[in-house]
Amino acid sequence: MSDKTSKKQFLSSVSELRTRARKKIEAGALTEAYPLNPEEACGILNEALATELVCVLRYRFHYFMASGIHSGAVAKEFLVHSNEEQGHADLLAERIKQLGGKPEMNPDILTQMSHSEYKEGDTLAEMLKEDLVAERIAIDSYRELIEYFGHKDPTTRRLLESILAVEEEHADELADFLFAQEEGSDTPRKLYAKDEVVAKAAVPKSGKMKNVVADKM
Ligand SMILES: [Fe+2]
Ligand SMILES: [Fe+2]
- The whole-model pTM stands at 0.77
Q: Does 148 have pLDDT greater than 50?
A: yes
10 Å CB burial of residue 178 (0-12, 13-18, 19+) is: buried
CATH fold of the domain at 37-201:
Ferritin (1.20.1260)
24 CA distance to ligand 2 middle (Å)? 37
pLDDT of 21 over the 70 cut: no
Where do the domains of the chain lie?
37-201
Q: Which residues surround ligand 1, an ion (CB under 5 A)?
A: 52, 85, 88
Contact predicate 82/136, CB 8 Å: no
Gap between the Cα atoms of 11 and 62, Å rounded = 52
- 135 SS3 class: helix
Q: What is the mean pLDDT of the chain?
A: 81
pLDDT confidence of residue 106 = 96
183 C-alpha to center of ligand 2: Å?
30
User: Whose atoms come closest to the Cα of 137: which ligand?
Assistant: 2
Residue 132 clears pLDDT 80, i.e. is over it: yes
pLDDT tens-digit series, residues 57-116: 999 999 999 877 668 889 999 999 999 999 999 999 999 999 999 999 999 999 999 998
The per-residue pLDDT for range 161-196, each reduced to its tens digit, is 999 999 999 999 999 888 754 445 566 565 555 554
Which candidate, 136, 134, 132, 135, places its Cα nearest to that of 124?
A: 132
Strand boundaries in the chain, DSSP class E: 179-181, 188-190
Ligand nearest to the CA of 171: 2
User: Which comes out higher in pLDDT, residue 13 or 124?
Assistant: 124
CA distance 45 to 213: 34
The predicted pLDDT at position 24 comes to 66
Give mean pLDDT, residues 142-170. Answer: 97
pLDDT > 70? residue 200: no
